[in-house]
Structure 1
């Protein structure tokens, strides 16, 4: 094989230069989408192109369209950055090109996932006996958790959904907060249950489920297979459902409890915020992202399940040529994908790099910086619409049109990047502080830009 060192060094050198530039480069204002498409398009070359030239052309073509979402002043979509060790590990994972289907296909990949899963459960307060599937994001993680739930509640009703499907099956009731994330509804559609099956529960002023309303919905509904979906970390406000009380109510009705904790489950990693997810260990399944608050490269998420048999029944399949070891279920037995990249290397590396204290510090620092945003923007005369309990801040600049205008101006300015959302019928700027490299200086610089542009 030809010497790949120059090619890989070219990629590594550019990656390092790009990451160094994040502190100072404009966060948004990428090139026009049509221009980017034209730059990437054209007829397929007839002859081959040297790899170094391909990489050089890729860098030059893509660079104008890159958003500095891995940088310290990107506050959109609850997006973390990527720690140095996890980034380098992901580069190695690509070079190693393992398919983490079973321990036979890649013993190292499965071992890394097993170890990282153990550490994750310890940090997040999830029972050590739970299974852990490494998936792409919380859309997949919620789908896995709800697939396990579907299996379990129908099996209790005497129905084998994996063999017989849903035609003729006992109807499943799904109870979820009115402020649930959209991935819950999408998972229900993907699983054949449909979004109309949801019985919504009222939420309080900050978006957490109201226990009295949950009790009323559960009390008045007809008996049958039941799934209750709870939330740790509302995507707009950061609010967490009262997990202990809500789970206790659900248990009285024989429900499976699933927790969508895309970023909010990380509150368990800090003594200062752990009370927000009190009772998390009582649930049956959990979804959590790695590419949000853990600052692991995209795409990375985790589907945990307290019932390994239900987890594997919902996900695994029998194929002689894909047979694994006799050990506990792992890899493709716990996820929707068979051909899957080895995500565990980056997660293991991030956790080794940060350590328990580092994860705690990351959570505490982001929460403190979110409060700094709220304090600074309130002092400037703008309305902060939520209780800042974690890392999310909602800001209103008057009427909806002006708020959207300010958001667009901020996104075009390039100092920082914030998103927009609708909350309680009004438009707001949404600020999410999730990056390990964000500092007080970054927040103050961003506040100054927002005030300047709002004026």
Structure 2
């Protein structure tokens, strides 16, 4: 089969999957897929047979993460234009290392990064790097922070490493995301560098406790704040927290994997007030922007520190740096051209479309919480964003209800532990979700609750 026919057939299969309104979570597990795929064949196979086999074996085990009733892991759907752009990115197969490997990829990332900064209210002169997601973005930002605070202390970490360097303390919320800890391990700080700062019942950093901990730190410091806790949606109090950190000379990083997008709507922008005075920010495109996996962004108010931490220091492919090199701001060199899908999502939505998406998801989260609460379900958080925590009694009953909902296939939401208790975590992030989807999902939850009782 010619390539054109093969790609058209594959696109039709993908569209069929997206249009199907079936189970949200499959009944077929990974063991069945592994067994059906079998062992490596001895000889070649026609491309169309390969694609047919892949669809036949894999489709029954696919999760409908792009569908309107998937509420797990803060996964957005994938906008139509962004999906098509990602298909083009695969077909074009550009290496987005620099403007020599792909002039188009380099230019589109620069434009998309500029649009993102404008939309999110970040400094226009901040640098931007396109990463695989929040883990990559947090790691990049904390690497830039490591460079900056140690350079201020007279230490060249890129040349001399951490052996013998001044000790850096990282003050982070007790409710921080696990990617912060992992980034600190990867960067050589170790989790022992973390000074956990107490939080309130919604997960907001206690600013007085932060200031007290900072006063006890003797040496370089990094402060990690949150824009949109992944359980409660709560935002740290940026003006006071950033003032306290900067008074100590600390670098401030804002983990905004979910909540940074609140800046895109006039109705929720107040939650991010003061955030732009931080030193670095991270967020995900495959969450609320509804860009296909994978897409994350790292922004830095100190571009020189950003590039010093990420760019090549030895001569390599010299004479090719006339245009901004995307790989100078990310962990990877040979890398997928993620800018195409991000640009397409922003172009499809526009400023007002992003605001409408954020507002609608927040309203649907409130509808979810309100309808459950009306039936006696405990809502464990103030629903200020798109996150809802629901408890169905004791921890064991909550687990049983959650398992029953997941088995039903009507919708899918994950479980979480929040301040020592089990909750169902409902994340409303998909551009396709409607009030009818919420009501249908609430009905499934209440049916599971009646069964558990």
What is the CA–CA distance in structure 1 between the aligned matches of 2:382 and 2:50, rounded to whole Å?
49
Residue 213 of structure 1 deviates from its aligned partner by 1.3
Name the residue aligned to 2:191: 195
2:44 equivalent to 1:48: yes
Query: Deviation string for 1:30-86 (max 9, x for gaps)?
Result: 3022111111222x1122111011000000010111000110000000000000000
- Pick one of 22, 25, 50 that aligns with 2:22: 25
What is the CA–CA distance in structure 2 between the aligned matches of 1:78 and 1:322, rounded to whole Å?
41
Name the residue aligned to 1:127: 123
What is the correspondence of 1:53-132 to structure 2 with a 5 Å cutoff? 53-132=49-128
How many residues are aligned here?
449
Residue 322 of structure 1 deviates from its aligned partner by 6.2
What is the correspondence of 1:245-256 to structure 2 with a 5 Å cutoff? 245-256=240-251
Residue 326 of structure 1 deviates from its aligned partner by 2.1
What is the CA–CA distance in structure 1 between the aligned matches of 2:37 and 2:107, rounded to whole Å?
39
Name the residue aligned to 1:301: 296
| TM-score, length-scaled by structure 2 | 0.98
Name the residue aligned to 1:265: 260
- Pick one of 31, 35, 38 that aligns with 2:35: 38
Answer whether contact 1:151 1:162 (CA < 8 A) is retained: yes
What is the CA–CA distance in structure 2 between the aligned matches of 1:322 and 1:357, rounded to whole Å?
42
Answer whether contact 1:102 1:323 (CA < 8 A) is retained: no
RMSD: 1.0
What is the CA–CA distance in structure 2 between the aligned matches of 1:320 and 1:154, rounded to whole Å?
26
Query: Deviation string for 1:347-374 (max 9, x for gaps)?
Result: 0000000000000000000000000000
- Pick one of 212, 218, 221 that aligns with 1:223: 218
Runs of 5+ unmatched residues, structure 2: none
What is the CA–CA distance in structure 1 between the aligned matches of 2:319 and 2:261, rounded to whole Å?
34
What is the CA–CA distance in structure 1 between the aligned matches of 2:251 and 2:29, rounded to whole Å?
47
| TM-score, length-scaled by structure 1 | 0.97
SS at match of 2:413: strand
Name the residue aligned to 1:409: 404
For residues 452 and 103 of structure 1, do their structure 2 counterparts lie closer, same or farther at Cα, with a shift above 3 Å needed? Answer: same
Which shifted more, 29-38 or 72-81?
A: 29-38
Answer whether contact 1:73 1:438 (CA < 8 A) is retained: yes
Answer whether contact 1:258 1:284 (CA < 8 A) is retained: yes
Which shifted more, 161-170 or 11-20?
A: 11-20
2:203 equivalent to 1:207: yes
Residue 323 of structure 1 deviates from its aligned partner by 5.1
Answer whether contact 1:87 1:297 (CA < 8 A) is retained: yes
Query: Deviation string for 1:257-293 (max 9, x for gaps)?
Result: 0000001000000111111111111011110000000
What is the CA–CA distance in structure 1 between the aligned matches of 2:340 and 2:30, rounded to whole Å?
33
